Structure 1
Amino acid sequence: MRFRHTHTAAATGTLLVAALTLAGCAASGQPADTQPTLDPDEEVSISFTFWGNDVRAALYDEAIAEFEDQHPHIDVKILFLSPNDYWEKRQIEAAGGGLPDVVTMDLAYLRQYSESGSLLDLEPYLGSIIQTDPIDSQVLSAGVVDDTTTAVPLSTNSWGMFLNTTLLEEYGVDPFDGGSWDDYYDWMSEVSAAAGAQSADVWGGVDPITRIENFELQLRAEGGNLFEEDGTPGFDEERLAEFWDSTSAQRADGGVAPQQRVAEVQPLTAFDAALTASDATWDNTGAGFLGNLGEGFDIELIAPPLSEDGGKDLYLKASQMYSIAANSDHPAAAATLIDFLINSPESGEIFGTNRGLPASATARDAANLDELSQTIADYESSVADRRGEAPPVPIVGYGSLHEKFRELGEELGFGTITVDEAAAQFFAEMDVVVDQ
């Protein structure tokens, strides 16, 4: 599945960067037997927050303007932050009981905010203000924590692998065509050697061990989970060390992009800075990659490596979700905004797959899928046989563990820590998080 850069609006979905310490009271809301309604004559103002880049911000500006045209009595204050700042700001707000009315939520933080009582029980609004028929029930269930719905998914995505076919053609290396993770590591070394022979500042890929999702996929292929339903880890220190050691040869021989070069191009990734020919990440990241690479680059989306034949490692993830703050003074208006952003044809047309493939069939049918968007949709269909059941809702503290995993992976890249030291540090951090 190959596509070329276009001028389609896009942004990179993100994962999780801050540890949370949340405070709050029990989730509140109207009794389940009460049907909430929106007073069309009441002038209200609500706040809405999301993460992303300037491209996504422009799309939200357009969508909110359309919403306010349709609901002139509702004024929406938009609060936009970069991915790196978003969760730090939410942590401060949640601790003070002052979250925005509508919060863009990530699955990794959902349990933390739900169990702290920071989020409203949405059950009274489902099927009344927020239409749920267009959303697959399995996708909708991702917003349920302890039998309470505290978020509604707005989009889905799946883990994939992007290839920069322009760079591969330039250095005379065939695209990776599937295989095990070891096959992929060997392929990365081949690309790095070919580019190095021409004194090019290009490598086969970023080191896969910096991303906990790559580790999760390997565990799922083996029939396990990163964390079980009761919160216990599905791996031990030895298995984690094995994963982190799996690219030691590539780190030593220059088969992966040096961590120093990766750090130098931030906030771009090594892939959208054209330093690497591959990257494994969520499929909705492709739009941001193309936007940052600029004209003249072709990229391709393929399935990631699979070490166990027949393994069900992939799954359909609720890439982003919307929640309402438990302290919201205008929950009906907030629910009306959520329904518009998730279900309306106007929202589907404006965003396309910028936030991931729309979870709502109504929005998805209205989306004018450009080449990239159609590629993402086709990719998710193509890996259906490889998808297993979605993993359990992430444990409380997963966000901080996700960040710790990344930090330790980067330290391994810099050579400032050994694999055994990294594994011991991660388990020490995990013990603290799980015991909280």
Structure 2
Amino acid sequence: MGVAGATAALAMVLTGCGSSPQAGKVGTVDDPVTIRFAWWGNDSRAKTTLDVIKDFEAANPTIKVQGENTEFSSYWDKMATQIAGGTTPDVFAMSGSYPSEYASRGVLLDLGTVSEQLDTSKFAEGTVDLGKIDGKQYTITAGVNSMSMVIDPVVFEAAGVPLPDDETWTWDDYVDIAAEVASKSPAGTFGTTPMSNDSFLAVWARQNNETLYTDDGKKMGISEDTLARWFELNKKLMDTGGAPSASQTVEDGSAQPELTLMGQGKQAMKISWSNQMTSYSGAPLVMMKMPGESKQPGAWLRSSMEYAISGKSAQSKEAALFINYLVNNMDAATKIKSDRGMPANTELKAGILPLLKDAQQKEAGYLDRIAELNVSAPPPFPAGSSATLEVLNRYNTDVLFGKVSPQEAAKAMISEVNQNLG
């Protein structure tokens, strides 16, 4: 995903770039100010966003918005290049550890300075704090999602295996069910595929009363033993036949959602972001809690996308008004729906529910179940952690191919990530 490259570029260019913010001009109908808005996504998201921009401009004729859509695979590299060249968009989408990376180098505006233009009074409890770093508000969530277990009932039924009970099942049950489904299905159909994602690893850590990172963000908080058991789980899924071979797992992990085993109807269970379920296939998929969640919850409501304002923007108030429109306007919500996650604004969420397709209705219900667990979100992933996903994938692949043991992978990964954080 180019994360490591973008991180390296970011580290070289962010500090000391650009000039101090200038007082922006006051726009008029005849001479409006222009702000730039950058986001990632496919053509469908781009079309919807441009329609929303037109509506905003009609309601705010003194402001023009220049939209810039980029595929996720190259988004962060493009952002680093623009920041280096002093052409940072006024408003831009963020996720993962990038808010911490950017905030630590002075790229992001403290949104407390434009609080009069941003209304978060109708946001669900805890969702405003998702954008706080070291006590300051740097981002506003565009929508929330959570880790989930996506289930294909058709595969289960064809194998004659009952659906799991997500209030009671364990990770051992997950391994056993995956193996049973695979053994009772046609060749090429599997119970699951290993999930190699740092956000899921954070869930795993929390289920084991640990944290992925320490509170100060200086090193990994997950223990070597807990991390090794996660590698062992993935290896066991493959060794018992519940998951495909190492090479097929790597191939599946890089495929477009509709071309994955789950997308082709050849996989019974998949750990996934809740808002991605509809991208796999048109089959009637089901969303469940991951194993162990009822006993020791690890999942939390997180921002699937966040909005930030450049600290160098000359039109920060206009930029804030635009973000406010995106997250609080019902007309915008009826177009965007849950494309960026479920709205944090509870009134908007209630307003779009009747408009959602069946799968999106299931996602909304699942997120309500996660909210009922009353699990607080961990601090945003710290600066220096953008490369953790790449490091995790590399060591997980080495474990699956038998190049290193789970214990060796855990020790080496913690050492490498700690160096990145330092």
TM-score higher than 0.5: yes
3-state DSSP of counterpart to 2:394 = helix
Correspondence for 2:278: 287
How far off is 1:186 after superposition?
1.0
Q: Does 1:275 align with 2:266?
A: yes
The answer as to whether partners of 2:146 and 2:274 remain within 8 angstroms in 1 is: yes
- The one-letter code of the counterpart of 1:364 is K
Output the CA distance in 2 between the equivalents of 1:139 and 1:344. Answer: 17
- Which of 221, 229, 235 is equivalent to 2:215? 229
Give the direction of change, closer, same or farther, for the CA distance of 1:171–1:86 in structure 2 (3 Å limit): same
How far off is 1:94 after superposition?
3.0
How far off is 1:15 after superposition?
12
Output the CA distance in 2 between the equivalents of 1:184 and 1:79. Answer: 42
The answer as to whether partners of 1:217 and 1:313 remain within 8 angstroms in 2 is: yes
Question: For residues 307-355 of structure 1, what are the alpha-carbon distances to aligned partners after superposition, in whole Å with 9 as ceiling and x for unaligned?
Answer: 7x63132211122110011122222221121111111101110111111
Output the CA distance in 2 between the equivalents of 1:138 and 1:227. Answer: 20
- Which of 363, 369, 375 is equivalent to 1:388? 375
The answer as to whether partners of 2:94 and 2:305 remain within 8 angstroms in 1 is: yes
Q: Does 1:312 align with 2:312?
A: no
TM-score after normalising by structure 2: 0.88
How far off is 1:169 after superposition?
2.1
Correspondence for 1:377: 364
Deviates more, 1:320-329 or 1:62-71: 62-71
Correspondence for 2:176: 186
How far off is 1:132 after superposition?
1.7
Give the direction of change, closer, same or farther, for the CA distance of 1:334–1:384 in structure 2 (3 Å limit): closer
Q: Does 1:323 align with 2:322?
A: no
Output the CA distance in 2 between the equivalents of 1:189 and 1:30. Answer: 59
3-state DSSP of counterpart to 2:93 = strand
Correspondence for 1:94: 83
Question: For residues 13-46 of structure 1, what are the alpha-carbon distances to aligned partners after superposition, in whole Å with 9 as ceiling and x for unaligned?
Answer: x997765133134999999xx9x99644442222
3-state DSSP of counterpart to 2:386 = helix
3-state DSSP of counterpart to 2:141 = strand
How far off is 1:103 after superposition?
0.8
Correspondence for 1:340: 325
The answer as to whether partners of 1:154 and 1:360 remain within 8 angstroms in 2 is: no
Output the CA distance in 1 between the equivalents of 2:3 and 2:328. Answer: 26
Output the CA distance in 1 between the equivalents of 2:75 and 2:265. Answer: 26
How far off is 1:112 after superposition?
0.8
Correspondence for 2:138: 150
- Aligned counterparts, 1:343-362, within 5 A: 343-362=328-347
Could you tell me which runs of 5 or more consecutive residues in structure 2 were left unpaired when the two chains were aligned: none
- The one-letter code of the counterpart of 2:15 is G
The answer as to whether partners of 1:24 and 1:95 remain within 8 angstroms in 2 is: no
Aligned-residue sequence identity (percent) comes to: 24
Correspondence for 1:123: 112
- The one-letter code of the counterpart of 2:267 is T
Q: Does 1:423 align with 2:402?
A: no
The answer as to whether partners of 1:152 and 1:322 remain within 8 angstroms in 2 is: yes
Correspondence for 1:47: 36
- The one-letter code of the counterpart of 1:226 is L
CA RMSD of the aligned region, Å?
2.8
Equivalent pairs counted in the alignment come to 408
How far off is 1:133 after superposition?
1.3
3-state DSSP of counterpart to 1:399 = coil
Could you tell me which runs of 5 or more consecutive residues in structure 1 were left unpaired when the two chains were aligned: 1-13
Output the CA distance in 2 between the equivalents of 1:52 and 1:273. Answer: 22
3-state DSSP of counterpart to 1:358 = coil
How far off is 1:298 after superposition?
1.4
TM-score after normalising by structure 1: 0.85
3-state DSSP of counterpart to 1:119 = coil
Q: Does 1:166 align with 2:151?
A: no
- Which of 225, 230, 255 is equivalent to 1:238? 225
The answer as to whether partners of 1:259 and 1:414 remain within 8 angstroms in 2 is: yes
How far off is 1:66 after superposition?
1.7
How far off is 1:192 after superposition?
1.3
Question: For residues 351-387 of structure 1, what are the alpha-carbon distances to aligned partners after superposition, in whole Å with 9 as ceiling and x for unaligned?
Answer: 1111111012343233223322222221122233434
- Which of 369, 393, 396 is equivalent to 1:409? 396
How far off is 1:122 after superposition?
1.3
How far off is 1:282 after superposition?
1.7
Output the CA distance in 1 between the equivalents of 2:121 and 2:25. Answer: 19
Output the CA distance in 1 between the equivalents of 2:248 and 2:86. Answer: 41
Output the CA distance in 2 between the equivalents of 1:123 and 1:396. Answer: 21
The answer as to whether partners of 2:143 and 2:341 remain within 8 angstroms in 1 is: yes
Question: For residues 249-275 of structure 1, what are the alpha-carbon distances to aligned partners after superposition, in whole Å with 9 as ceiling and x for unaligned?
Answer: 322243213342344451334422433
